[in-house]
Amino acid sequence: LEKFISRNRQYSCQPTTVYRPEDARQAERHLQDAAQRGANLRAVGSFLSPNQIALSQDAVIALDRMDKVIRVDRMARQITVQAGATLRQISEALDRQGLALPVLGSISEQRIAGAIATATHGTGVAYPPLSGLVREIELVTPGHGILRLAATRDRDFDAVRVHVGSLGVVTEVTLDVCEAFDLDVTEGPAPLADVLERLPQSLHTDHYRFWYIPYADIAWEWTGRRVEPGGRPRSQGHMSPASFWRDRVLGHYGFEALLYLSASFPNLLPKINRWHSRLQFSCPRTSRGRSDQMFNMDCLHREFVSEWAIPVDATPTALKSLQSMADAQPYPMHLPIEVRFVRRDDAWLSPTYGRDCCYIGIINYIPYGRVISHDAYFHAFEDLMLQLGGRPHWAKSFRAGHEILRDLYPKWDDFQKLRETFDPRGVMYNSYTERVLGPVSGEPVQRAL
Ligand SMILES: Cc1cc2nc3c(=O)[nH]c(=O)nc-3n(C[C@H](O)[C@H](O)[C@H](O)COP(=O)(O)OP(=O)(O)OC[C@H]3O[C@@H](n4cnc5c(N)ncnc54)[C@H](O)[C@@H]3O)c2cc1C
């Protein structure tokens, strides 16, 4: 039996059936087969998500054989791909035509269908999550077979873009893209208070984010300006041979060893954070390169992560509360806390539905495979985010169930009606969808959770 393991190695499943379709018709037959057998089915992309969203012990449909770029329309600035194409494949195909994805998150290993289903985002308050780039989508549903939905034509289009894997299997996607560009990136440290005071101006830059370092009381700002493509890539102040010892040996392995130690001696953590921030976050640096390569970064350590989208205006309150939490030291807070900004989206279940958002992400490392207790920290963070009107990132850690989430999404009930139509017997179902979206009201198939 094939085993699927999440990138942080904390979530896995060994389904009895794995389907690998090569086109939409085959995917339809697989769905029919799963429904007839009374199996629960989850579609998987790269199986990276650090939570239970893609797990199924019963049946999985993997889109890795459907990863082709179908066409790039240079004039219309659109790309059509099979749903199993990775973000990296898409960026490479676009680059060959002088085009690019307008925005990306920290990595490009996700398959486009997985990224869209969870409203994966980058940073830049003028740029939507990746789901906001979708213009057409082909979806194979248990209830209605193969559907092709377009932004310009279909009432249900905004429901199916962010669907948390619960409406069917996405097999093809057309995305709006843009002219290729380079990013000119400036990074440097600043006191958190200054960063918050300057925030309205900072948000005017193309792509802006910062990382707050608990206990060290500084923030590390990252500002990306879009410039003409083709300039010479450069990198000053980081990843030179001279900094290899500092960044890789001490900053990575040394840091991980100290985190491992802090599991037994949590009082060490403030000192570790301050040491690491002096080592890695004290010298400003600049760099320039192709946009996708500059958006992506090394996510070296394995980690648990919780990320929530709150209204942009709530950013200072949220950060000050997290700073007070660090000052009070009720529990260890790993560095850094990532703060990004994303434009509103019209997809019904997008965390940025109807409002520009600040995404705040907290992490807890798993140094050398050692799980460090973090429930109290993550729960306090979730409570704070809920108080500020936050909505969780679907692919990360959160406790809230459908009883809470339904009040956070104006189109929740409409989505559920569509779910009942597209998947009346709850084929696309697992314990995550049961908790987060609630049961489908139709006659349930056998639940192998
Ligand atoms: C190291 C790391 C860095 C990350 N950085 C970011 C970031 O910068 N910004 C951000 O927003 N997120 C980020 N994420 C989260 C990541 O983008 C999501 O977890 C994403 O969903 C993973 O894509 P995947 O292809 O692995 O999907 P999977 O984890 O395999 O699946 C995710 C969801 O998509 C559904 N799905 C997948 N394929 C299909 C399909 N063909 N049809 C229907 N449903 C489908 C699954 O059923 C599931 O519900 C990061 C995650 C990791 C591990």
pLDDT tens per residue, range 184-231: 999 999 999 999 999 999 999 999 999 999 999 899 999 999 999 988
Closest ligand 1 atom to residue 432 Cα is 49
47 lines ligand 1 (CB under 6 A): yes
**Residue with the nearest Cα to atom 2 of ligand 1?**
107
**Above 70 in pLDDT, residue 2?**
yes
pLDDT in tens, 347-366: 999 999 999 999 999 999 99
**What proportion of the chain, given as a percentage, has pLDDT over 70?**
96
218 lines ligand 1 (CB under 6 A): no
Buried b (16+ CB within 10 A) or exposed e, 27-39: bbebbeebbeeeb
Please tell me if the CB atom of residue 329 comes closer than 6 angstroms to any atom of ligand 1. Answer: no
Distance (Å) from CA 253 to ligand 1 centroid: 27
Give the distance (Å) from ligand 1 centre to CA of residue 104. Answer: 13
The C-alpha atoms of residue 350 and residue 339 are separated, in whole angstroms, by: 18
CA of 13 to the centre of ligand 1 (A): 16
Residue 111 Cβ contacting ligand 1 at under 6 Å: yes
pLDDT tens per residue across span 143-193 = 999 999 999 999 899 999 999 999 999 999 999 999 999 999 999 999 999
Gyration radius of the chain's alpha carbons: 22
Q: Tell me, using a 6 A CB cutoff, whether residue 276 lines ligand 1.
A: no
User: Strand, helix or coil at 182?
Assistant: strand
From CA 156, how far away is CA 411, in angstroms rounded? 11
Residue with tokens 């379709």: 21
Is the CB of residue 165 below 6 angstroms from any atom belonging to ligand 1? yes
Cβ of 106 less than 6 Å from ligand 1: yes
Is residue 112 within 6 Å of ligand 1 at its C-beta? no
Question: What pLDDT score was predicted for residue 440?
Answer: 79
pLDDT for residue 444: 47
Model pLDDT for residues 394-412, shown as the tens digit of each residue = 999 999 999 999 999 999 9
How sure is the predictor about 240, in pLDDT bands with cuts at 50, 70 and 90?
low
| pLDDT over threshold 60, residue 442 | no
